[in-house]
Structure 1
Amino acid sequence: MNRFAVMVDAGYLLCQAVDIVSNRSSKKRRDLEIVDPAGLVALLIRKSKELLALDGKELLRVYWYDGVFPTGMTEQQAAMINVDDLVLRAGTVNGAGKQKGVDSLIVTELVELSSHHAICDAVLVTGDSDLAVGIDLAQRRGVRIAVLGVQDLTQGVIDQQSAEIRNRSDRVGHLCRADIEGLVRFKPAARKAASTEAPAKPSAPPYQRELTPDDDVKIGDAVRTFINAQENPALLRNAINATTQKIDVNVDRILIHNIFRMLARGELTNAEKMLARAKFRALLHELGTDDAVVSVAPASEAPKT
């Protein structure tokens, strides 16, 4: 194992970049043009090598995590996936235009790569505190983690990185305006004229189909596969509050995303999510309460990491 990965939250990178190159006049990524996709990826690889002193180590690949609209990829996304050594990992985009599911994709992949000893180092281009659990789990498996932010303090653009990920990471670095100039540029998108038409009626809520015996079996198998994929089930310690039986929010996010991937039939219904959580609790109890299910300490009493 002598390889490293670069894992990019595209929403974070591009929103920070447009804030800088627009001289703080826009934070909309649609106002950013990637002039040189290959050059941008090469920059991320070079900065990653410098940050963790990775000379002599081989790049596994660059993972590009981005929300994709139901209508398909944008021109920007289509250009990025044509860059060598880069793969797109697609989340979704909600009605407000915000990407969803990207953080859980990154955490899941980081843990999987670490568990399979596919990498020894990883650089995360992100600011999201939700990735803290993934950083912890990867480091327990011997992987060094660096976070690479985007900022330009001369313009008042800070990195928007959470203290949780900065404090957990082995190294912290930054890209600035001098790094990204020439690779991206500010190009304001054409704004649509205000419509005089009456607003559309709100769509009906999605149909929540009833669960079948086959669903019970498939979801149970998927949950069991998720638990067995952990190198040590004891890593799920503190996953469930012994008093409330609530699943830790970070573990729950990874669990639901894994079930979604394994079933491969679209977004899970609320009933399917509830069944997955119930199966998860039941299987952890079967493993033994001493190893898998213990009370979660209050935040004020939690041990420092």
Structure 2
Amino acid sequence: MSLSARSVIEELKAFCSAKAPTGSLLRIYWYNGIRPGAAMSADQTAIADMDDIKLRLGFINGQGQQKGVDSLIVTDLIELARQRAISEVVLLSGDEDVRVGVQIAQNYGVRVHLLGIHPARGSQSPTLRQEADTTSEWDKLTVEKFLSLRSVHQPAMTAIAASPAKAAVPAVETADDDSGLITAAACSFVADLQEADLQAIEIFWKDNRGVPPEFDGRLLAQTAEKISRRLEKAEMRVLRSRFREEVLKRREG
């Protein structure tokens, strides 16, 4: 899936204006997770650099589970309400754990508008929906403005023809033979990236080196599939170098 953060933000701002036409936007809080000690991803860096956005990061544990985000949401709801910084809030969430933050914010006089993705009743806590002052859903047409399917590059199939008198003997490729496949994999991967991906990578490279984490794993996996084995460390370096070259070519072109 490919998410356009700018398009999401535009939709959120429009929704906020519709819900509170006489109010003004304080800011949008965007919650995500990061592994301890890791650098922010290209997408996270791009989002953090946007106007009117406050990026708040929980952490991702060893099992790949996002932790600490709900407590950040609850803390922000309570503090902003207590400081009288907000009178209305749009909450795009469905987790039961944030309900206590909604309750306390309402005790300070804040109206909470709960937003979900259709069908929201299947993904949002029923008690959270009951607690909110209003509930709304984004339909499929709205979601398609900012969320799309990435194209999946299928590995090429190789056909081997053998004469009736001879058996087909599979060729054993050496690391040198695979260099062309590795380059082709990098070219194919970058060719499938969308414009928003390229912009996020450029922002990531302002403060970081290498392939952004959210692209690196997919790049390695797709290349390993092409050559039918795991890459050696030297090959990983070559692949990542080719990735950078191809991204720069696309940006210059």
- Shift, 1:81, TM fit: 1.6
Aligned partner of 1:112: which letter?
E
Consecutive aligned runs of 4 or more in structure 1 exceeding 2 Å deviation:
188-196
Q: Distance in 2 between matches of 1:144 and 1:116?
A: 15
- Shift, 1:176, TM fit: 2.0
Q: State TM-score, norm by structure 2.
A: 0.58
Contact 1:150 / 1:159 at 8 angstroms: preserved in 2? no
Q: Distance in 2 between matches of 1:161 and 1:191?
A: 35
More helix by share: 2
- Shift, 1:101, TM fit: 0.2
User: Does 2:65 correspond to 1:98?
Assistant: yes
Q: 1:12-27 counterparts in 2 under 5 A?
A: none
- Shift, 1:170, TM fit: 0.2
* Map of 1:303 onto structure 2: none
Cα RMSD for the two superposed structures: 2.3
Cα displacement string for residues 187-206 of structure 1 (whole angstroms, at most 9, x for unaligned residues): 2555735988xxxxxxxxxx
Structure showing greater Rg = 2
Q: Secondary structure at the match of 2:25?
A: strand
User: Does 2:93 correspond to 1:130?
Assistant: no
**Aligned CA distance change for structure 1 residues 49 and 95 (closer, same or farther; 3 Å):** same
Cα displacement string for residues 209-250 of structure 1 (whole angstroms, at most 9, x for unaligned residues): xxxxxxxxxxxxxxxxxxxxxxxxxxxxxxxxxxxxxxxxxx
Counterpart of 1:181 (choices 118, 128, 144) is 144
- Shift, 1:182, TM fit: 3.5
Q: 1:73-222 counterparts in 2 under 5 A?
A: 73-151=40-118, 153=119, 159-187=122-150, 189=218, 192=221
Q: Secondary structure at the match of 1:60?
A: coil
* Map of 1:33 onto structure 2: 2
Cα displacement string for residues 31-66 of structure 1 (whole angstroms, at most 9, x for unaligned residues): x2223x22210101212332x3x1121100000011
Contact 1:149 / 1:159 at 8 angstroms: preserved in 2? no
Gaps in structure 1 of 5+ consecutive residues: 1-31, 197-305
* Map of 1:61 onto structure 2: 27
Q: Distance in 2 between matches of 1:76 and 1:158?
A: 29
* Map of 2:189 onto structure 1: none
Q: Distance in 1 between matches of 2:34 and 2:82?
A: 28
Q: Secondary structure at the match of 1:63?
A: strand
- Shift, 1:83, TM fit: 2.0
Contact 2:77 / 2:101 at 8 angstroms: preserved in 1? yes
Contact 2:7 / 2:145 at 8 angstroms: preserved in 1? no
Aligned partner of 1:129: which letter?
E
Q: Distance in 2 between matches of 1:91 and 1:80?
A: 15
Q: Secondary structure at the match of 2:27?
A: strand
Cα displacement string for residues 121-152 of structure 1 (whole angstroms, at most 9, x for unaligned residues): 0111001000111111010100000110012x
Q: Distance in 2 between matches of 1:139 and 1:33?
A: 35
Contact 2:112 / 2:132 at 8 angstroms: preserved in 1? yes
- Shift, 1:159, TM fit: 4.6
Aligned partner of 1:186: which letter?
L
Q: Secondary structure at the match of 1:67?
A: strand
Q: Distance in 2 between matches of 1:33 and 1:81?
A: 18
Q: Distance in 2 between matches of 1:143 and 1:158?
A: 23
Contact 2:58 / 2:66 at 8 angstroms: preserved in 1? yes
Contact 1:124 / 1:148 at 8 angstroms: preserved in 2? yes
